[in-house]
């Protein structure tokens, strides 16, 4: 969205230039008509001179009226510098994303910025593992159809939840470094529990990616004409993928419950349990 204040002043300058231009043109045509009509006598060209002069004068009057009306209205308030910077950044990102490889470049820059923000914390390694697994699954997402479709949606929900949890773990870890000695014990316990939640969630996500790769491998074998053991292989791969999806669904549900609890640091100790079959 453009700056409304800048747009207001641009329109004001445009109307002022237009009013001056039509005023000069109308005055010139009126003067020419006043001189040439008595000099050459009345004729058909005089009607053209008079019509052009009258039209230019009328347009000049309308432009001055529009200019006065716009100048009488108050100018929009100045845009906050932070908001202006955010809008400029959004326009730049949108322009880059329209390029052929722009979306991939923007996604990589965002991942690098997130990794940089977590550098020096215990979350950096699980975050990197989650990034690698998400990129791997993203490369397979277009081919995960049929029985594998629920795995893609579960993975997307779990990815968001795990990244939110990683941010919370990093925040607790930074607070732990600044906490006084008498307040470190509960924070340290909360940090251990949150880290365990994150580790189990990332491991479940990785198992889902491995199961999805196995499902695609069995599907490729069946397409290539390997009929021996085809049905058994597909059934086993689909079963493993379903189990991994259920496990990841349990992780995502547990993380969602953590977000809705009013005091998350006191409830994060509940262990994650995979659904039973």
Q: Give me the residue spans of the domains in the chain.
A: 4-72, 121-266
Tens-place pLDDT, residues 262-272 = 444 333 334 43
| Closest residue by Cα to residue 258 from 273, 268, 272, 249 | 268
The string of DSSP codes covering 142-178 is GG--GGGHHHHHHHHHHHHHHHHHHHHHHHHHHHHHH
| Closest residue by Cα to residue 200 from 126, 143, 141 | 126
Model confidence at 125: pLDDT above 60: yes
Model confidence at 239: pLDDT above 70: no
Q: Are 248 and 217 contacting, i.e. CB atoms less than 8 angstroms apart? A: no
DSSP 204: H
Query: How far is the C-alpha of 68 from the C-alpha of 73, rounded, in Å?
Result: 9
**Local confidence band at 236 (pLDDT 50, 70, 90 cut-offs):** low
Residue 205 neighbours by CB distance under 10 Å: 26
In this predicted structure, what is the pLDDT of residue 244?
62
Query: How far is the C-alpha of 133 from the C-alpha of 129, rounded, in Å?
Result: 6
Tens-place pLDDT, residues 182-221 = 888 888 888 888 888 888 888 888 888 887 777 777 766 6
276 φ/ψ angles, rounded to the nearest 5 degrees: -90, 150
Query: How far is the C-alpha of 127 from the C-alpha of 251, rounded, in Å?
Result: 16
Tens-place pLDDT, residues 16-45 = 999 899 888 888 888 877 776 666 566 666
Q: Which residues contact 55 (CB under 8 A, 6 or more apart)?
A: none
Q: Are 161 and 255 contacting, i.e. CB atoms less than 8 angstroms apart? A: yes
| Closest residue by Cα to residue 1 from 72, 65, 94, 119 | 94
By three-state DSSP, how is residue 58 classified? helix
């Amino acid at each position: 969205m453009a700056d409304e204040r800048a747009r207001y002043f641009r329109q004001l300058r445009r109307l002022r230039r237009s009013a001056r231009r039509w005023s000069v043109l109308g005055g010139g045509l009126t003067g020419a008509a006043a001189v040439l009509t008595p000099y050459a006598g009345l004729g058909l060209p005089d009607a053209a001179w008079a019509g052009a002069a009258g039209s230019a004068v009328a347009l000049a009057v309308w432009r001055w009226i529009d200019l006065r009306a716009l100048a009488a209205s108050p100018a929009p308030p100045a845009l906050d510098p932070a908001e202006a910077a955010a809008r400029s950044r959004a326009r730049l990102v949108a322009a880059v994303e329209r390029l052929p490889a722009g979306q991939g470049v923007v996604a990589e820059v965002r991942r690098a910025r997130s990794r940089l923000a977590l550098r020096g914390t215990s979350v950096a390694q699980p975050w990197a593992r989650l990034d690698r697994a998400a990129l791997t699954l993203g490369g397979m997402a277009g081919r995960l159809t049929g029985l594998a479709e629920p795995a893609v949606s579960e993975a997307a929900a779990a990815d968001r939840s795990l990244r939110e949890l990683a941010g919370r773990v990093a925040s607790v870890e930074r607070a732990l470094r600044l906490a006084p000695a008498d307040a470190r014990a509960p924070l340290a316990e909360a940090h251990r529990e949150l880290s365990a939640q994150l580790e189990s969630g990332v491991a479940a996500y990785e198992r889902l990616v491995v199961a999805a790769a196995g499902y695609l491998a069995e599907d490729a074998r069946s397409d290539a004409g390997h009929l021996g053991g085809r049905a058994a292989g597909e059934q086993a791969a689909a079963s493993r993928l379903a189990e991994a999806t259920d496990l990841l669904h349990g992780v995502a549900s547990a993380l969602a419950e953590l977000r809705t609890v009013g005091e998350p640091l006191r409830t994060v100790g509940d262990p994650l349990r995979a659904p039973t079959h």
